[in-house]
Amino acid sequence: MKKIIIIGAGVIGCSIARELSRYDASVLVLESNNDVACGTSKANSGIVHAGFDAKPGTLKAKFNILGNPMFDRLSKELDFPFKRIGAMVLCFSEQDFPALTELYQKGIKNGVEGLEVLMGDKVRELEPYVSDKVVAALVAPTSGIVGPYEMTIAYAENAYTNGVSFEFNKKVTSIKQSGEWIVECEDGSSYSADLVINCAGVFADEINNMVCDDKMKIVARKGEYMLLDKTSGYIAGKTLFQLPTAMGKGILVSPTTHGNILLGPTAVDVDDKACTSTTVEGLNDAFSKACMSVPTFNKRMVITQFSGLRAHNVDGDFVIGMSAKQGFYNVAGIESPGLTSAPAIAVHVAKEVAEHLALGVNADFNPIRKGIKQFSTMSDDEREKAIAENPLYGKVVCRCEVVTEGEIVDSINRPLGARDLDGVKRRTRAGMGRCQSGFCTSRIMEILSRELGIDMQDVTKFGKGSNLLIGRVK
């Protein structure tokens, strides 16, 4: 059987893994972190872009347009949150009309459906909290929102149950070719493969440069975000973008699939590709720009902040395809609209790889993945049934998001389950509410310790070195 190694378990690596599991091959995903979706895929805007923004003729435009319509079916197949809520690009000055028109025309050229330009008050009829200063907006009904890490986890779980292997805490340090490809990791382990796919996100240049003469440069572009409490009331029903102005590229205000409001991201290139800390300047910048779109924001509505790094290819477009070295395949520079494009990229890459390796079909492939039964969104009848089936569904652990012990245990014990606090959080939302895990931290630690059979002191926030406890009292 042909062996394939995918480097990186972000949305790109996991979606390709899943699409490749339709074929008869031995696929291994190597991830440097303790879980899937630990890089860019966990910290981004979660937007399924309509496709008016990408430059016509680019890979970004192509895969954006192909990817967007795939979400309706995919989100049902893989059971991840997705809503097609539409988007608006807000225009703050009549001087910017030409830019708005240009965006509209670019959208038409890319094949985006349903685009429409509305003037000031019409905009506020649709979104009443939009600033009075908005003179017009481009409306794109096909835009949507998605849970980015839920989508990545769903892809990974489905890949796993269809036979793909995953190895975590495997930082790749060298890739050599001697008949087959030999991939070596920091911990001394090594793996062989007939084909290697580079999906290493912000580190994709380092991986490429281990192999290819054609060097690549990926810049980490930091984006900082603020998340507002669900109880902040109605702010926006659609994703609100800002038309780039002389003041710079704008930031977005968008509902999330869980009913929070997200604002951000800023865009600052950083040297340290591991640095996802937030900054005072960044957060202030995101907040003040968001207030341009919706002036009624109040910092008291904020429950958390985070930042993510976009993998920006200095050449501008996605890099997708076999490198000059046969058997080393790059999927790099996947920044926005990367999340939207992922499903289409994955299908494309899997098809190319399958042809290259002459792979047969996996007759047992099952496209369906069921997520964790979510207590908070159940009806009372469903809740009654869930508790009757599994009494742990009657034990509420996270008060703010109403997450039960049943869901937390499932998140740990399911295929490719959570192994740390953040993993539980991304799978169940426990700790994502307004108290930000103040009450549930110790309970979730106990559950992790019990289910994984590890000592409390070995429970981490996100793997190596992120232990929460340093010892026993007394």
Binding site for another protein (CB under 8 A): 226-227, 231, 274, 276-280, 282-283, 299-300, 302-306, 380, 383-384, 387-388, 391-396, 399-400, 402, 404, 434-439, 441-442, 446, 456-457, 460-474
Q: Which residues are CB-neighbours of 312 under 8 A, at least 6 positions away? A: 218, 219, 220, 221, 269, 333, 335
Q: Which residues are CB-neighbours of 308 under 8 A, at least 6 positions away? A: 39, 40, 42, 43, 44, 222, 223, 225, 265, 276
* Measured distance CA(167)–CA(106) in Å, rounded: 42
| H or E element in which residue 138 lies | strand 136-140
Q: What is the CA 299 to chain-centroid distance, rounded?
A: 25
Q: Two tokens at 404?
A: 């039960």
- Identity of the residue, 165 or 467, whose beta carbon is nearer to another protein in the bound complex: 467
Q: Which residues are CB-neighbours of 22 under 8 A, at least 6 positions away? A: 162, 350, 361, 362, 365
- Identity of the residue, 1 or 388, whose beta carbon is nearer to another protein in the bound complex: 388
- Identity of the residue, 1 or 275, whose beta carbon is nearer to another protein in the bound complex: 275
Q: Two tokens at 347?
A: 């299908």
CA distances (Å), origin 109, targets 51, 56, 61, 179, 390 = 10, 7, 10, 46, 53
Q: Which of 49, 258, 312, 348 is catalytic?
A: 49
- Identity of the residue, 126 or 469, whose beta carbon is nearer to another protein in the bound complex: 469
Q: Two tokens at 240?
A: 């609100």
Q: Least distance to another protein from the beta carbon of 119, Å?
A: 35
- Identity of the residue, 231 or 326, whose beta carbon is nearer to another protein in the bound complex: 231
Q: Least distance to another protein from the beta carbon of 172, Å?
A: 19
Q: Least distance to another protein from the beta carbon of 305, Å?
A: 6
Q: Which residues are CB-neighbours of 349 under 8 A, at least 6 positions away? A: 16, 19, 197, 320, 329, 331
Q: Least distance to another protein from the beta carbon of 249, Å?
A: 21
Q: Least distance to another protein from the beta carbon of 467, Å?
A: 6
Q: Least distance to another protein from the beta carbon of 464, Å?
A: 6
Q: Two tokens at 127?
A: 């979104």
Task: Specify whether 348 is catalytic.
Answer: no
* C-alpha triplet 404, 367, 36: angle, nearest 5°: 55
The amino acid that residue 247 corresponds to is: M
Rounded to a whole number, what is the distance in angstroms from the first to the last CA of the chain? Answer: 56
- Identity of the residue, 84 or 395, whose beta carbon is nearer to another protein in the bound complex: 395
- Residues annotated as catalytic are 49
